[in-house]
A and B are shown apart, each in its own frame.
Chain A
Amino acid sequence: MAKIKLGKGSPGLDMTPMVDLAFLLVTFFMLTASVRVSEPVVIDSPSSTSERLLPDNVIMVTVDTKGKAYFNISNPEVRVKTLEKMGQQYKVAFTDAEKKRFGGMTSFGVPMASLKKYIAMQDPERAKAGSPGIPLDSLHPELGDWINFGRIEAARQAKAQKEKAESVGRSFKYEPLRFAIKADGQANYISVKDVIKVFTDRDIYRFNLITNLEDGGAAK
């Protein structure tokens, strides 16, 4: 029988192209990745065939299966400014550290009275404490106030940015503020309707309803 002759060359493999590719991909993912922040509640959005993407500059109200409302502003600076205004309105003083923490948060669903405590908590504690939802009845129109102040502050910030850009001779592209509603598919329509009423009472009639892309588009 013929003996299999092993090559005398080194069994090593040139890995350079593979390493090149691996690092290229690592760099790509590092640069494109956005940090996934934990939301206070998991929302299973209903699916639709809509392919329109969510705009970047939004005020978002989330409605969970129990009908509780959560609030979020995409722009951190505007969010902090809105918190200051809300603090003045509801006589709650926030420290600079609390404001900074609030700027890095996502949506929240607690009334103003317990917001200070909520900001101080860590993620696991927040999950344990749960969120009672932001009150939106006519006696405690907190959600409406959040929306109102958020809208005013967003406009103010856009104006300041525009002036700053124009003072150095650059053109400023303003992205209009949009209002998004993210509701769970199993949420009662009546609770979504209450949220919509908060908006329409403040003369906001155009919404972006957040949905999943149908068939395989769902991440969860």
Chain B
Amino acid sequence: MAEVNTGDGGGHGKHDKKRAKKASTKIDMTPMVDLAFLLLTFFVLTSTFSKPKTMEINFPAKPKTQEERIKVNNALTFILTREGAGEKEDGIYYYYGEFYAPNNAAGKPVTTYTRTNFSKDGLHKLLLNKNATTIAEIKKLDEKHEKREIADSTYKRLAIAAQGNIKALTVLIKADDKAVYKNIIDALDELKICNVGKYAIVDMSQPELDILNAIKKK
């Protein structure tokens, strides 16, 4: 260690050395700690941890021919809109099965829409009812998976197969020009929760829109 000889004379030199050893070797760390915590606070506050979450969705490819139409059985159609004064309220209607326009060729009665909402007793309950068989099937798979009777990959495959079953519920989501994006996400989210594997967002036909506009809350 560097030492400064104050030049007191040779005789005192030994004594001085002893004194230097006695002095505290500790450094005052307070400023360093202050700085460390300052930086820590800064980084804690500015860093963003969460990557955004996403929802994957496939849109139906455009049909190659004009008259290509898929026949769906067990289909539930949701119609999303905004209604009420100033179009501030979320509106959701549904009908089950095929759509029959007024004065249709098949002579069937006109499709009537039923009103529901995004609450637990509305959309959620409806989907649980309509999709009961699939949900029960997946629940069975869940139990097996929990008891480790089936492997992860098998579980995944069987769950997808159950959702894709021909008898499983198919949901079509249609939105009019007034609907907001949040409604679509809410509906998609509910479908995921209720294990609906077959769903699509499709365009609304004019007769469907006419019926909607007639029954919408003004």
A, B in one complex: yes
- A residues sitting closer than 8 Å to B (CB atoms) are 12, 15-16, 18-19, 22-23, 25-26, 29-30, 32-34, 36, 45-55, 63, 180, 182-190, 192-193, 196, 199-200, 203, 205-213, 217, 219
Residues of B within 8 A of A200 (CB): 59, 61-62
- Among candidates B47, B53, B60, residue contacting A211 with C-beta atoms closer than 8 Å: B53
Known: A12-B26, A32-B49. 8 other contacts (CB 8 A): A29-B43, A49-B192, A189-B80, A192-B181, A200-B59, A207-B57, A210-B55, A213-B53
Binds A, one of B69-77, B99-107, B183-191: B183-191
- How would you classify the secondary structure of chain B's contact residues: helix, strand, loop or mixed? mixed
Complex CA gap A48/B46 in Å reads 25
Question: With an 8 A cutoff between CB atoms, is B215 at the interface?
Answer: no
Within 8 A of A (CB), among B8-51: 26, 29-30, 32-33, 36-37, 39-40, 43-44, 46-51
Chain A interface helix/strand/loop/mixed: mixed
Are A186 and B54 neighbours in the complex by a CB distance under 8 Å?
A: no
- Does A187 contact B180, Cβ atoms closer than 8 Å? yes
Q: How many interface contacts (CB-CB < 8 Å) are there between A and B?
A: 149
The A-contacting residues of B in range 178-205, CB under 8 angstroms, are: 178-186, 188-189, 192-193
User: Judging by beta carbons under 8 Å apart, are B50 and A19 in contact?
Assistant: no
| Alpha-carbon distance A22/B35, docked complex (angstroms) | 10
Check B33 against A209 for contact (C-beta < 8 Å). Answer: no
Q: How large is the interface on B (under 10, 10 to 19, 20 to 34, 35 or more residues)?
A: 35 or more
Q: By the criterion CB–CB under 8 Å, are A211 and B185 in contact?
A: yes
CA–CA, A59 to B33, complex, Å?
43
> Which residues of chain B are within 8 angstroms of A15 by Cβ–Cβ distance?
29-30, 33
The answer, among B40, B180, B193, for a CB contact under 8 Å with A185, is: B180
Cα distance, A10 to B80, chains bound together (Å):
73
B50:A219 contact, CB within 8 angstroms: yes
Contact sample, A vs B, 18 pairs, CB 8 Å cutoff: A12-B26, A19-B32, A23-B36, A26-B36, A29-B44, A29-B47, A48-B192, A50-B54, A54-B52, A188-B177, A189-B180, A196-B59, A206-B58, A206-B59, A207-B56, A208-B56, A217-B50, A217-B53
